[in-house]
Amino acid sequence: MTAERLRMVARPRVEGGQMVLGFGGWMNGGEVSLGTVKYLAGTLRAERFADIEPKGFYIYHFPGPMEVAALFRPHAVIEDGLVRRLESPTNVFHASEAHRLVLFQGQEPHLDWEDFADCVFALAEACAVEGLYFIGSYGGVVPHTRDPRLYASVSDPAMKEDFAAQGLRFSNYTGPAGFSTYLTHEAARRGVRLATLVAEIPAYVQGPNPRCIEAVARRVAALLGLQIPLDDLRTMTDAFEAKVAEAIRDRPELANTIRKMETDYDSELFNTQMSDLKEWLEERGIRLD
């Protein structure tokens, strides 16, 4: 079944490289998941070489109120009585041979997670990549004026040491699972190195969040050893922050809440850094008390 659904038109030379996955759906708050991967693909001029056939993976009709059912329907554009575009889910792989990097942009499958995962792992094996990274995001209590917090979960305990050295926190969660969690669990069973990196972003900001996309792209680039320009994202971030500032200017109760969030965020960051500094000093026989 995998051979029918995974369509490769080329086999890029990325042996020993990495794959970065972005999904629309459950873990794409602020468009951070797809937005980060899209930016990397464009900046690195990655070339399309494979896709996963969407048939059988998606629900197009879900019973219930229109606002719920609309989440599952394909997007259409009708102009002057003519259907100009009907957008079904797409699942596309790009590759940058120069950076030994595969980039995936797709929609989280509604059905048959097992076969979809088989397609992802089959392509990773065919391209001989050594590690996979899923990029995701969810709404939390981070203020829009600060970088998102980044949490990790991994398929191999040995990966935790490297991520801890990068200052990443590790996830603690109990509840409904997304496809990325299924992938991580399945990767552990298959002996594949896979990390899920999830950003906690401002819950009160709706729509694409350029600041969070920029921050996550910067962290991912550092983890992968990539040198990429972020000037375009910085310009978008500046415009985004100006727009949000204007929106809250006349809402003092929201401004007060955000200031409280900033204080909590900065205090937590300071306490974490001081704890690390104290541990570093005590290792060298220097005490602060």
Q: What is the 3-state secondary structure (H, E, C) of the chain?
A: CHHHHEEECCCCCCCCCEEEEEEECCCEHHHHHHHHHHHHHHHCCCEEEEEECCCCCCCCCCCCCHHHHCCCCCEEEEECCEEEEEECCCCEEEEEHHHCEEEEEEECCCCCHHHHHHHHHHHHHHHCCCEEEEEEEEEECCCCCCCCEEEEEECCHHHHHHHHHCCCEECCCCCCCCHHHHHHHHHHHHCCEEEEEEEEEECCCCCCCHHHHHHHHHHHHHHHCCCCCCHHHHHHHHHHHHHHHHHHCCCHHHHHHHHHHHHHHHHHHHHHHHHHHHHHHHHCCCCCC
Biggest CA-to-CA distance, the chain: 78
pLDDT band (50, 70, 90) for residue 281:
very low
> Each residue of 110-168: pLDDT tens digit?
999 999 999 999 999 999 999 999 999 998 888 888 888 899 999 999 999 888 888 88
Topology of domain 2-54+89-242, per CATH?
A: Rossmann fold (3.40.50)
- Minimal CA–CA distance to 134: which of 143, 124, 145? 124
Q: Return the pLDDT at 278.
A: 46
pTM: 0.86
Amino acid 277: pLDDT:
42
Over 50: is that where the pLDDT of 21 sits? yes
